[in-house]
Amino acid sequence: MAVARVYRAEDQVRDAKSLSSFSHAPVTIDHPAEMVTADNWKKLAVGEVSTEAAWDGNRIRLPLILKDSAAIQAVEGGKRELSAGYTCDLLWEAGNTSSGEAYDARQVNIRANHVAIVDRGRAGTECRIGDADPHKWGAAPILPTTDKETITMSDALRTVVVDGLSVSTTDQGAQAISKLQAALADSAANITKIQADHAKALADKDAELAKKDAALDAEKAKVLSDADIDKRVTARADLIGKAKAIAKDVKTDGLSDADIRKATVTAVLGDAAVKDKPAAYIDARFDILVEDAAKNQPDAFRTVVQGGLKTADATGQADQAWAQSVTDLNAWRKEA
């Protein structure tokens, strides 16, 4: 149907249950994008209908209390028309009103959800906040009248911005657009969160892999090649040899290179020489002892020739061997 004609009969508006549903209904600034519920009323309500609604002429009179400063300022600034947010059941049955107007459906079981303060309501400018003091509200009291709604649906369009474009639509259309825009914003926020969580998960995984790679590289660094092992064995043997040359009784088994140097210096110079001294100092003292030991090393050849060559055959076996060889060489001279 391009156009649906809905009849809201006076007896349904004046129904006791319908009127009582306005009692203590929340007051909002504009129609919210969703129905006011126990879950969101603190966010949406700026006041409430203070007492029971009353039928006044052909309108409902509602005593209102505004409790939000921004809402009060908005009303004092000229935003004072009223629009009821409600639910109803639609009976889709064609008919005609008592005045002969045709309709396609009727509203029954009208129940108030909220009362919205709007810039321009469909019911007309007389459906607004009124007060006897014109200096306070700038609006005279509402007088009973039998006039029908003063503006048509098309005259009460609201302008909303959709993706940078201004769109004119009804209150219900604006509510639907606002709801969709809120849903899109929530979806965008969810996508952003998902992307951020995904990026964080990737970063955490990369960090974990990098940590494992570093640990693997560290383990590989601990593995020595054959050439490295030979160098370390040679260097170790050289160190132990130098230590033994300086202090032959020094213990080297199970000690680190630094501990061997320290033990050697201690053996030669005493504990006081290394007490509270840094490793670099102990290494330097060890090197000095090695140099001194090299300078004081005795010359074996010089020691041998210094007192002349001497025989040391205490048993005389060498002399006997020499005499026997001489006798053997002269044996041919003897008669047979």
- Tell me the pLDDT tens digit for each residue of 185-244: 888 888 999 999 999 999 999 999 988 888 888 877 777 677 878 888 898 888 888 888
Last residue of a domain, one of 299, 316, 331: 299
Residue 323 lies in a domain: no
What pLDDT, on the 0 to 100 scale, is given for residue 148? 45
Is residue 304 situated within a structural domain? no
Residue spans of alpha helices (H) in the chain: 10-13, 16-20, 41-44, 69-76, 134-137, 171-222, 226-246, 257-269, 279-295, 300-306, 317-329
| Pair 132, 14 in one domain | yes
**Does 24 lie in the same domain as 84?**
yes
Q: What is the pLDDT of residue 35?
A: 94
Q: Tell me the percentage of the chain whose pLDDT exceeds 70.
A: 79
Measured between alpha carbons, how far is 74 from 138 in angstroms, rounded to an integer?
Answer: 13
pLDDT of residue 129: 87
Distance between CA 43 and CA 29 in Å, rounded?
Answer: 11
Query: Does the residue 322 lie in any domain?
Result: no
Question: pLDDT tens across 6-37, in order?
Answer: 999 999 999 999 999 999 999 999 999 999 99
**Is the residue at 41 inside a domain?**
yes
Of 99, 129, 152, at which residue does a domain stop?
A: 152
202 located within any domain: yes
Last residue of a domain, one of 103, 119, 152: 152
Q: Are residues 270 and 231 in the same domain?
A: yes
Do residues 12 and 140 share a domain?
Answer: yes
Q: Which range of residues forms the domain containing residue 248?
A: 226-299
Q: Looking at the 3D structure of the chain, how many domains does it have?
A: 3
When mean pLDDT is compared across 27-31, 152-156, 248-252, the lowest value belongs to 152-156
Q: Are 106 and 7 in contact (CB under 8 A)?
A: yes
d(Cα 186, Cα 170) in Å, to the nearest integer?
Answer: 24
Q: Is residue 116 pLDDT above 90, yes or no?
A: yes
Output the CA torsion sign for 179, 45, 56, 9. Answer: positive
Residue 316 is predicted with a pLDDT of 66
Q: Report if residue 108 sits inside a domain.
A: yes
Shared domain for 113 and 168, answered yes or no, is no
Same domain as 148, residue 96: yes
* 158 band by pLDDT with thresholds 50, 70 and 90: low
Picking from 8-17, 53-62, 311-320, which range would have the lowest pLDDT averaged per residue?
311-320
Residue 307 located in a structural domain? no
* 12 and 148 housed in the same domain: yes
Range with lowest mean pLDDT among 90-94, 137-141, 265-269: 137-141
pTM above 0.95, yes or no: no
Same domain for 130 and 191, yes or no, is no
**In a shared domain, residues 22 and 124:** yes
**Residue of 144, 112, 143, 117 whose CA lies nearest to 15:** 112
The pLDDT of residue 302 is above 70: no
Contact indicator for 48, 23 with CB cutoff of 8 Å: no
Specify the pLDDT at position 312.
54
Pairing of strands 6-7, 105-118: parallel
Residues 56 and 98 both lie in one domain:
yes
Residue 331: inside a domain, yes or no? no
Q: Which of 130-134, 257-261, 317-321 holds the top average pLDDT? A: 257-261
For residues 28 and 131, membership in a common domain is answered with yes
pLDDT tens-digit series, residues 58-89: 888 889 999 999 999 998 888 889 999 999 99
Same domain for 136 and 163, yes or no, is no
Q: What average pLDDT does the chain have?
A: 82
